Structure formats: structure tokens, C-alpha cells
Amino acid sequence: MKPIRQAPVDELHPLQIPDSRWNTLSVDFIIELPLSSRHDAVMTVVDSVLKWAHFILTHMTVLHR
């Protein structure tokens, strides 16, 4: 019989609902794209309430600073 190696499961709690739009954001980067108009990456910013996204062209050099 194998021992259980997982931590005990605890009660799940829902995340708080943000108070207003653009109050809670998530940011991600899409990198190593083919060079286009001197840009090789895209920064995505998503509002967690509206689920709206903004896509901002950027450079890989910005990420390494």
C-alpha cells in the first residue's frame, strides 16, 4: 500500500469580488515573436471584472531590465 503524499485538503474559499472596474488586473507577456515594426513581444493586460484585454506592443529588451 502506497502512502499518501498530498497535503490534507482544506475548505475552499471564494475569491473576493473586486470593487470596481480596472481595480484588479492580470498582466502577461507573449514573447519571442517574429520581428514586426521593431516589436517582438506583446504585453496583455486583462481586467478581471469586465474581462477586457489590452494588447501592447513591446520589445524583449524591456522585459530584461
Instruction: Answer whether residue 64 shows pLDDT above 70.
Output: no
Number of folded domains that form the chain: 1
Q: Decide if 8 is inside a domain.
A: no
Q: Decide if 16 is inside a domain.
A: no
Residue range 41-51: mean pLDDT, rounded: 90
Q: Decide if 42 is inside a domain.
A: yes
Instruction: Answer whether residue 59 shows pLDDT above 70.
Output: yes
The DSSP 8-state label assigned to residue 65 in this structure reads -
pLDDT at 3: 84
Q: Decide if 19 is inside a domain.
A: no
User: What percent of the chain stands above pLDDT 90?
Assistant: 25
Q: Decide if 4 is inside a domain.
A: no
pLDDT at 8: 82
Mean pLDDT of the chain: 85
Q: Decide if 17 is inside a domain.
A: no
pLDDT band at 44 (very low <50, low <70, confident <90, very high): very high
Range of the domain at 44: 25-63
C-alpha span between 36 and 59 (Å, rounded): 10
